[in-house]
Amino acid sequence: MGRVYSITSPAPKGGISYKQITVDYENMPVILKPIYTGICGTDRGIVKGSLNFAYCPLGYGDLALGHESICRVISAKSNKYGIRSGDIVVPIVRRPGQCLNCITGRSDNCSDGDKHEAGVTGMHGFMREEFGDSPEYLLKVSSDTMKEVGVLTEPLKNVEKAFEVYDLVSRRSISTDRFGSLSEKRAIIIGTGSEAFLYALKCRDYGFQTLITNRHPIDDLKMKFLDTAGVQFFDYTKEHRDESGWDLVIDTSGDPGTIMRFLRKTNNNGNVILFGTNGSAPATGIDGQDIDHIIERNIFLIGSVDGARVHYELALKDLERWNVQYGDKIKSLITHRYSPDDTSVFTKKDPLEIKSVIDWSK
Ligand code: NAP
Ligand code: ZN
């Protein structure tokens, strides 16, 4: 048994304490120390007590938070996955249950819900000075240059999975333009958080004309980043766009009214990726014309959650490439670095934040 200095939350009651809990990890084959752990709305929701699906591991009254991370291997027993002491790795968040999807490596498509997620559902997370894991759940990061942006692997793997589904469903018709490319096709991303930015980069890689929107303006730093990537921002409450419509709509807001606003402007054979979740968002009306619109235009609605090992691998490859393509700019997605002692990051979100991380060297 080892003492672990952890940020813990007595989920699902809410509230945060920064205290030592005892977690047995020393018998695990690999011992890890986080370099960075990322913060997202899920961590903040657990701390607030608003995510009633979060629960502690069996036998514990606390939950160590943290599912986005990049870690250094402190020690590793010999293993067939090539994980060695000194390696930099990204741990996989979701751990399989017993269903067919889970046992064949696709716990992202779990069919009975009997899986666990580190730092969220029934498994301690990665926001600890040290923790143990099995090598099969670790992905090696190729170089030290990825030490920083590698913390984006976990949020980006969700995007990779959504595009896997997009690739499948977009084959049902000719989805390219008259040049055989996507340069005349338009993607719109709703929301301007970290997932939205990652979606925007991916849409640019695909060659879409890419726009991103929110119900308020965004700061210069975000505008500058989007400019670098060739992505246009507009505040949909103020600006009137042309009527050429959307070929791909990606929602990260979870707001039904906003989703319908953009879905109503979706083109023939368009695809709509529903990604954002907000259980407390207000209801919106859908009428017969909306249903006709979806049917008559062959619009495909895609719900997409999580990602599998293959998507972590794709995410790592994309981040390595973007690291070269965008240089230091990609690092500017990490806007805030907190010390592990500063738990205020769980209760406040700076309006300038794209991604906040805890720097475990502090
Ligand atoms: P986030 O930073 O909270 O992003 C949500 C964005 O949506 C924010 O920029 C927010 O704007 C914007 N938004 C909220 N209501 C809006 C509206 N009515 N119109 C336009 N924009 C609106 O969270 P994130 O980490 O990027 O994640 C995005 C969403 O995906 C979250 O809901 C998260 O829970 C979910 N998620 C899903 C998966 C999955 O596998 N499906 C995985 C991870 C996360 P402001 O806050 O600036 O006002
Ligand atoms: Zn399963």
What does the pLDDT look like over 270-287, one tens digit per residue? 999 999 999 889 999 999
Ligand 1 pocket mutation, candidates 163, 195, 306, criterion most atoms within 8 A of CB: 195
DSSP H helical ranges for the chain: 41-48, 100-103, 153-169, 194-206, 220-229, 256-263, 288-296, 309-325
| Half-sphere exposure at residue 140, Cβ-oriented, CA atoms within 13 angstroms | 14
* Cβ count within 10 A of residue 124: 25
Please compute the mean of the pLDDT values over residues 99-116 and round it to a whole number.
96
Q: Answer whether residue 329 shows pLDDT above 50.
A: yes
- Encode pLDDT of 157-201 as tens digits: 999 999 999 999 999 999 999 999 999 999 999 999 999 999 999
The reported pLDDT for the residue numbered 2 is 40
Give the mean model confidence (pLDDT) for residues 94-116: 96
The answer to whether the CB of 131 falls within 8 A of the CB of 25 is yes
Answer whether 175's CB lies under 8 Å from 299's CB.
no
Closest-CA residue to 141 (of 320, 333, 21, 269):
320
Beta partners for 357?
A: 38, 337
What's the order of all strands across the beta sheet hosting 231-235? 231-235, 209-214, 186-190, 246-251, 266-274, 300-303
Q: Is 255 within 8 Å of 278 (Cβ atoms)?
A: yes
**CA 117 – ligand 1 centroid, Å:** 20
Average pLDDT, the chain: 92
Ligand 1: does its nearest atom lie under 6 Å from the Cβ of 196? yes
pLDDT at res. 4 = 52
% the chain with pLDDT above 90: 78
Can you tell me the mean pLDDT for 224-251?
91
Top-confidence residue, 330 or 47: 330
The pLDDT, as a whole number, for residue 316 is 97
The answer, yes or no, to whether residue 45 has pLDDT greater than 90, is no
Is the CB of 96 inside a 6 Å radius of any atom of ligand 1?
no
3-class state of residue 334 by DSSP: strand
The SS3 call for residue 168 is helix
**How many A from CA of 308 to the centre of ligand 2?**
12
Cβ–ligand 1 contact at 190 (below 6 Å): yes
Q: Tell me whether residue 295 is exposed, middle or buried, using C-beta atoms within 10 angstroms of its C-beta: 0 to 12, 13 to 18, 19 or more.
A: exposed
Q: What is the pLDDT confidence band of residue 12, given thresholds at 50, 70 and 90?
A: very low
**Radius of gyration of the chain, Cα coordinates, nearest whole angstrom:** 21
Tell me the average pLDDT across 81-89: 97
- The Å distance, Cα 303 to ligand 1 centre, comes to 15
Rounded Cα gap, residues 328 and 257, in angstroms? 37
Q: What band does 7 get if pLDDT is binned at 50, 70 and 90?
A: low
pLDDT over 70 at 10, yes or no: no
* Residue 165 Cβ contacting ligand 1 at under 6 Å: no
Phi, psi of 29 (to 5 degrees): -65, -30
Residue 276 pLDDT: 95
Ligand 1 touching residue 195 (CB < 6 A): yes
341: pLDDT confidence band, cut at 50, 70 and 90? confident
> Are the C-beta atoms of 72 and 62 separated by less than 8 Å?
no
Give mean pLDDT, residues 328-352: 91
Residue 3, pLDDT > 50, answer no
Supply the pLDDT for residue 27. 85
Which range among 22-26, 105-109, 181-185 shows the weakest confidence by mean pLDDT? 22-26
In terms of Cβ atoms closer than 10 Å to its own Cβ (0-12, 13-18, 19+), residue 3 is exposed
| SS3 category, 42 | helix
Q: Identify which of 36, 171, 105, 127 has the alpha carbon closest to the alpha carbon of residue 306.
A: 105
* pLDDT at site 352: 93
Residue 209: the pLDDT is 97
Task: Tell me what pLDDT residue 11 has.
Answer: 46
Of the listed ranges 19-23, 75-79, 111-115, the one predicted with least confidence: 19-23
CA atoms within 13 A on the CB side of 82: 6
Task: Provide the whole-model pTM.
Answer: 0.95
pLDDT of res. 20:
60
- Which tops the pLDDT comparison, 293 or 344? 293
The β-bridge partners of 140 are 89
Residue 34 has pLDDT above 70, yes or no: yes
Span 109-134, average pLDDT = 93
Angle between helices 309-325 and 153-169 (to 10 degrees): 110
Question: In whole angstroms, what separates CA 348 from the centre of its chain?
Answer: 19
Residue 262 pLDDT > 80, yes or no? Answer: yes
Structure tokens at 172: 């049902």
163, two tokens? 């595009």
- How much is the pLDDT for 22? 66
